[in-house]
Amino acid sequence: MAVSKDEILDEIRRCAAENGGVPLGRERFKAETGIREHEWRGKYWATWGEALSEAGLPPNSLNGQVLDDEQLVRRIALLTRKLGRFPSEAHLKLERRSDDTFPNSNSVRRRLGGTSDQLARVRTFAAADDSFSDVCEIVSALSSDEDTAGPKEPVARTQADGVVYLIKSGRYHKIGRTNAIGRRSYEIALQLPEKSALVHSFETDDPAGIERYWHDRFKDRRQNGEWFLLSKADVAAFKRRRRFM
C-alpha cells in the first residue's frame, strides 16, 4: 500500500522529535521507518530538504551546511544518548554511514580535538542543559584524560568479556554479540541489501548468556536467525541497559 504524503510528514516530525528536534537524514529515515526514497522523491517532493520544510523543520538544516561547534557537540551528545555510552571514533564513522546528516569524524576531530576534548565539551554542554541530564550522567563518570595520559596498564578482561548489540536494518532488528562492535557493525552492513544502523550496545562479562536472554525474551518476535520484528517498547527496553555484568 502506498504511503501518503501526510503519513510521511507525520513520520518525519515524529523521528525529529525523538532525535532531540534534529531531523533525520534520508538514509537514517529509511532505516527508522521503512519508507524508501522512491516513495517520496519525484512523487511528493524533489528533494529531502523540501520534505523537511513542508514538515515544518528547517530544510537541510544539518545536511550540506557547515555546523558550528555547539551543533557538533549537540550531535555527539545525542549519539551518546542513543548508544548509552560516549562514542568512539568507530561509532562516529558508523553513525555517519547510517545518517548522512551526521558530521564526518575527521571534521569532528579537527574542530573539537581528540576524544578527551570531545568528552569535555559534551560534559560542559550536558551539564548546562537539563534536557541532557541523562547524557550528563553517562559522561560525568568518565575521565577527560583517558586518551591523553599516555600508555596505560591494560585492564584485565576475561575471555568472555564482550558487547551485546542491537542493529536495525529496514523493519528488522538483529541482536548479537561481539568483541569489536565497530568491526562487527561494518561486517553486517556489508552483507545487507539495506543500510544498517547501530541502535544500542552495552558491555557484559557474559555476552553469550546475555545474548541468549534477549533472544529468549523476544522469541515470539523472531523472524530468522538473530533477526527480530521488535516493537518500540521492545527497543526501549533493550536501550535501557547500560551495562550488564
Task: Quick: pLDDT tens for 205-215.
Answer: 778 888 888 88
Q: Per 3-state DSSP, what percentage of the chain is helix, strand, and coil (rounded to 5)?
A: 50, 15, 35
DSSP lists the bridge partners of residue 173 as: 168, 228
145: Cβ contacts below 8 Å, ≥ 6 apart? 116
> Phi/psi of residue 155, each to 5°?
-75, 130
Beta strand segments in the chain, E: 162-169, 172-178, 196-204, 222-224, 227-228, 243-244
What is the residue-averaged pLDDT of the chain? 77
Nearest to 57 by CA among 4, 98, 101, 9: 9
**C-beta separation of 82 from 199 below 8 A:** yes
Separation of alpha carbons 95 and 122, rounded Å: 17
For strands 222-224 and 196-204, give the pairing: unpaired
pLDDT class of 6 with cuts at 50, 70, 90: very high
C-alpha cell at 40: 517520496
C-alpha cell at 231: 516493537
Beta strand segments in 79-132, E: none
Separation of alpha carbons 62 and 17, rounded Å: 15
C-alpha cell at 1: 500500500
What average pLDDT score do residues 168-177 get? 86
Separation of alpha carbons 161 and 239, rounded Å: 19
Other residues' Cβ atoms within 10 Å of the Cβ of residue 234:
17
Residue 8 is predicted with a pLDDT of 93
Separation of alpha carbons 129 and 240, rounded Å: 21
What average pLDDT score do residues 207-236 get? 87
Residue 230 is predicted with a pLDDT of 92
Residue 12 is predicted with a pLDDT of 92
What average pLDDT score do residues 136-164 get? 56
For strands 243-244 and 162-169, give the pairing: unpaired
Separation of alpha carbons 29 and 193, rounded Å: 16
Separation of alpha carbons 196 and 157, rounded Å: 29
190 pLDDT exceeds 50? no
170 pLDDT exceeds 80? yes
